[in-house]
Structure 1
Amino acid sequence: MKCALIVPAWKPDEIFPAGTAGSQVNYWQPLGTLYLGACLIEAGHEVEFLDGSFLSHEDILRRVGALKPDFAGIYSTTFGWPGAVRTAAGIKALDDRILTCVGGPYPTAVQDACLGDGCEAIDAVVVGEGEETVVDILDRLRSGRDLTGIAGVIARTEGGILRNPPRPLIEDLDRLPFPARELLGDRSRYIPAAGTYRRKPVALVMTSRGCDRRCIFCFQMDRERKSGIRGVRYRGVDNVLREIELCLRQGYREIKFIDDSLAADRDRAMRITAEIRSRRLDFTWFASVCANQADRELFQAMKDAGCWAVLIGGESGVQKNLNTIRKGVTLDRIRDAVHAAKDVGLRVTVPFIFGIPGETLVDALKTIDFAIELDPDLANFHAMTAFPGTPLHDRAEEYGTVSGDLRDFTYQGAAFVPHGMTRDEILKVRQMAFRKFYSRPSFLLRRLAAVRSRDDCRTAVSGLRSLFWLWMDRALFRRKKPALPPAPAGRAPNRNIP
Structure 2
Amino acid sequence: MKCALIIPSWVPDEIFSSRTASSQINYWQPVGTLSVAAVLRRAGHDVRFINGAFLTHEQVLDEVRRFQPRLIGLYATTFGWDKAKKTAADLRSMCRRDCFICAGGPYPIAVQGQCLSDAGTDIDAIITGEGEYTLLEIVERLEAGSGLQGVQGTVYRDSGRIVANPPRPLITDLDALPFPARELLGDADRYIPPPGTYRRRPVAVMITSRGCNRHCIYCFQLDKTRKSGIRYRSVENVLEEIELLIRQGYREIKFLDDTFAADYGRAMRIAEEMKRRRLPVVWFASACVNQVDRPLLKAFREAGCWAVLFGAESGVQRNLDMIRKGITLEQVRSAVHTAQDVGLKVSTPFLFGIPGETFEDGLKTIEFAVRLNPDMANFHAITPFPGTFLYDNLEQYGTISENLSDFTYQGAAFIPRSMSRDDIQRLRQIAFRRFYLRPSFMLRKLLDLHSLNDIKVALKSAKSIFWLALKLDLFSRHRRHLPISR
TM over 0.5: yes
CA shift for structure 1 position 460:
2.5
Deviations 1:124-149 (A, max 9, x none): 00001010000000001111111111
Which residue is equivalent to 1:408?
A: 406
Q: Using CA pairs below 8 Å that are at least 6 residues apart, which structure has the higher relative contact order?
A: 1
CA distance in 2, matches of 1:475, 1:289: 36
Deviations 1:78-113 (A, max 9, x none): 011011101111111112421110001110100010
CA 1:365 to 1:173, structure 2 compared with 1: closer, same or farther past 3 Å? same
* Aligned residue pair count: 474
CA shift for structure 1 position 307:
0.4
CA distance in 1, matches of 2:89, 2:472: 38
1:52 matched to 2:57? The reply is: no
Deviations 1:357-386 (A, max 9, x none): 000001000000010011011000000111
175-184 or 24-33, which deviates more: 24-33
CA shift for structure 1 position 120:
2.7
1:300 matched to 2:298? The reply is: yes
CA distance in 2, matches of 1:454, 1:125: 47
Which residue is equivalent to 1:459?
A: 457
CA 1:151 to 1:476, structure 2 compared with 1: closer, same or farther past 3 Å? farther
Which residue is equivalent to 2:167?
A: 166
CA distance in 1, matches of 2:101, 2:473: 39
Counterpart mapping for 1:71-470 below 5 A: 71-95=71-95, 96-227=97-228, 231-470=229-468
CA shift for structure 1 position 468:
3.6
Counterpart of 2:69, as a letter, is P
CA distance in 1, matches of 2:124, 2:302: 50
CA distance in 2, matches of 1:191, 1:224: 35
CA distance in 2, matches of 1:11, 1:194: 17
CA shift for structure 1 position 467:
3.8
Which residue is equivalent to 2:480?
A: none
Which residue is equivalent to 1:14?
A: 14
Counterpart of 2:247, as a letter, is R
Please state whether the residue corresponding to 2:121 is helix, strand or coil. Answer: coil
TM-score (norm 1): 0.93
Please state whether the residue corresponding to 1:120 is helix, strand or coil. Answer: helix
CA distance in 2, matches of 1:24, 1:221: 33
Counterpart mapping for 1:480-491 below 5 A: none
Please state whether the residue corresponding to 1:116 is helix, strand or coil. Answer: helix
Deviations 1:163-198 (A, max 9, x none): 111100001111111100001011001121112111
CA shift for structure 1 position 401:
0.5
Please state whether the residue corresponding to 1:69 is helix, strand or coil. Answer: coil
CA 1:162 to 1:431, structure 2 compared with 1: closer, same or farther past 3 Å? same
CA shift for structure 1 position 22:
3.0
CA shift for structure 1 position 21:
4.2
> For the Cα contact (< 8 Å) 2:436–2:469, is it kept in 1?
no
CA shift for structure 1 position 462:
2.6
CA distance in 2, matches of 1:221, 1:112: 16
Deviations 1:61-91 (A, max 9, x none): 0000000000000001101101110111111
> For the Cα contact (< 8 Å) 2:4–2:71, is it kept in 1?
yes
> For the Cα contact (< 8 Å) 2:21–2:460, is it kept in 1?
no
CA distance in 2, matches of 1:233, 1:24: 36
CA shift for structure 1 position 449:
2.1
Deviations 1:390-412 (A, max 9, x none): 00001111011010000100011
Runs of at least 5 residues in structure 1 that lack an aligned partner in the other structure: 478-498
CA distance in 2, matches of 1:154, 1:108: 10
CA distance in 1, matches of 2:173, 2:360: 47
Counterpart of 2:140, as a letter, is D
CA distance in 1, matches of 2:164, 2:290: 41
CA shift for structure 1 position 159:
4.2
> For the Cα contact (< 8 Å) 1:16–1:24, is it kept in 2?
no
Which residue is equivalent to 2:482?
A: none
CA distance in 2, matches of 1:35, 1:347: 30
Counterpart of 2:303, as a letter, is A
CA 1:224 to 1:450, structure 2 compared with 1: closer, same or farther past 3 Å? same
Please state whether the residue corresponding to 2:260 is helix, strand or coil. Answer: coil
Deviations 1:21-69 (A, max 9, x none): 4389651110110000000001110000000111111110000000000
Tell me which stretches of 4 or more aligned residues in structure 1 moved more than 4 Å: 23-26, 474-477
> For the Cα contact (< 8 Å) 2:72–2:100, is it kept in 1?
yes
TM-score (norm 2): 0.95
CA distance in 2, matches of 1:151, 1:232: 21
CA shift for structure 1 position 17:
1.6
Please state whether the residue corresponding to 1:135 is helix, strand or coil. Answer: helix
65-74 or 185-194, which deviates more: 185-194
> For the Cα contact (< 8 Å) 1:23–1:463, is it kept in 2?
no
> For the Cα contact (< 8 Å) 2:21–2:461, is it kept in 1?
no
Q: Cα RMSD between the aligned structures?
A: 1.4
Which residue is equivalent to 2:481?
A: none
CA shift for structure 1 position 471:
4.5
CA distance in 1, matches of 2:233, 2:24: 31
CA distance in 1, matches of 2:154, 2:329: 43
CA shift for structure 1 position 473:
2.9
CA 1:122 to 1:159, structure 2 compared with 1: closer, same or farther past 3 Å? closer
> For the Cα contact (< 8 Å) 1:23–1:459, is it kept in 2?
no
CA shift for structure 1 position 215:
0.3
Which residue is equivalent to 2:32?
A: 32
CA distance in 2, matches of 1:394, 1:158: 31
> For the Cα contact (< 8 Å) 1:16–1:25, is it kept in 2?
no
Please state whether the residue corresponding to 2:157 is helix, strand or coil. Answer: strand
CA shift for structure 1 position 463:
3.0
> For the Cα contact (< 8 Å) 1:20–1:466, is it kept in 2?
yes
